[in-house]
Copies of this chain bind each other. A is one copy, B any other.
Amino acid sequence: MDANIVASGTGNGKQLLRTVGDRKPLVWKFGGTSVADHGRLRAVAERMVAAQRAGHDVVAILSAMGRSTDALSAMAYEMSARPPLRELDALLSVAESISCALASMAVADLGSHAVSLNGAQAGIRTDDNHGNARLNDIAPRRIRETLAGGSIVLVTGFQGMSESGDVTTLGRGGSDASAVAVAAALGAHECEIFTDVPGVFTADPRIVPDAHRLDVIRHEEMLKMAEAGAAVLQPRSVELAITHGIDIHLRSSFNTEVGTWIRHAGGRFEVRGAFDVAGIAHRRQESLYGVRDVDVSEVAAALAERGIAMGAAVPRKGGLEFTTPGVSALETAAALDAVGVPAKVDEDLGSITVVSLGIGRRPGIIAHSRAALRAAGIAPRLITTMPGRVSVLVDSNLLEEAVRVLHATFIPVAPEPRLIASPAA
């Protein structure tokens, strides 16, 4: 805690000590399950008050309670099949205002003081792309003033304000993104994201019993895991963390145990095993599109115009096969239709991605993947490589087995030794 104590004079010649300067607040984010009901909100309040009493400034970004956003969304679609996005944002954003106000009351009930700030009040400025707004800037004046006044600050996640003063929402992963951005704006080096899992795992533990929590994962590894379907964090918050040099501590809100630190490598990590694989991510419901007699760049441009990125694209059978990761088959097909590209679609697929930053220097990872899958009787539909990862496309019914096979191939069974101590409790 690097707070400065300075003397501030008064007219009477008396002096009062007050704390100013650039002390770094704790910046925390609590997800929907962590604030799902009054009991959970109270637990969050207790954690914040304890940290405050231990001498910390505390800023917490809160999601909406449980499924409350879905309930509001249902109200909207009962009113109109196509509600205006500006109004949908005005509606959905109230869910975070509710959780922040209630959490503030819980803090008051514990004898401390908290101030809830909505997106506009917290200075979270976005573009006007309603429903999926991008962060332009954080103007943290009011957050700082409120902290300086001795209060805990609760900031609504997911919402911001556009240049024209409208309420915007940040889309998927928006609350995590707000939290990382607020941390950056306040000069904090860390952001702790409290969620309903204990951290980042080497694979989905519901599929791979041997999967284990990582103590540390590099920013870039986490980004690739997220892009390949690991749902614990959205790519955008990891990108923000990379841009602003913020370490993220992803941890459970249900206990006080250390989770996973997602941080800049900075040459301090050792290589994990022969292939330095961080983890195995997967994504269900992938589709493979096959086109013939068309210019690839034209197809890519037509998709990009609709916000759809081509994933792996490989020449095959005289044509081209490609995926559109994270985009529904319906949406992609509509885009291809719109540009008059007839496509063959194979919908019933899943992808498994082996994430390893050193992949370029260790091409053996492809051969190993192929051999391991073949030994397990799994014939990949497609194997593609991109910087930092190898992806395998398989029939949906083989997905889980393929995840287990590749995890067993590349990830040591025992957790790696903790290489770096966590810098915070």
Q: Show the binding face of A for B, using Cβ within 8 Å.
A: 38, 41-42, 72, 75-76, 78-84, 86-88, 90-91, 94, 97-98, 100-102, 104-106, 108-109, 113-116, 118, 120-121, 142, 165-167
Contacts and interface: CB of A to CB of B under 8 A. Distances in A.
Copies in the complex: 2
B120 A105 contact: no
A86 B115 contact: yes
18 contacts: A41-B79, A75-B102, A76-B101, A76-B102, A79-B105, A79-B109, A80-B105, A81-B109, A83-B108, A87-B101, A88-B101, A90-B97, A91-B97, A91-B105, A94-B94, A94-B98, A120-B165, A121-B165
Which 6 pairs from chain A and chain B are nearest by CB?
A91-B101, A94-B94, A80-B109, A79-B105, A83-B105, A80-B105
A38 B108 contact: no
A97 B94 contact: yes
Contacts of A91: 97-98, 101-102, 105
A108 B80 contact: yes
A82 B108 contact: yes
A94 B72 CA distance: 12
Contacts of A100: 90
Contacts of A79: 38, 41-42, 102, 105-106, 109
Nearest to A145: B164
Contacts of A165: 120-121, 142
Contacts of A167: 118
Nearest to A104: B87
A91 to B, nearest CB: 4
Contact of A84 (B41, B80, B84, B108): B108
A148 to B, nearest CB: 14
Contacts of A82: 108
A104 B91 CA distance: 10
A168 to B, nearest CB: 13
A76 B72 CA distance: 19
Nearest to A95: B94
A259 B72 CA distance: 35
A419 to B, nearest CB: 42
Nearest to A76: B105
Contacts of A118: 90, 167
Contacts of A114: 87
A121 B90 CA distance: 12
A76 B41 CA distance: 12
* Candidate in A84, A101, A104, A121 with the most chain B CB atoms within 10 angstroms: A101
A53 to B, nearest CB: 18
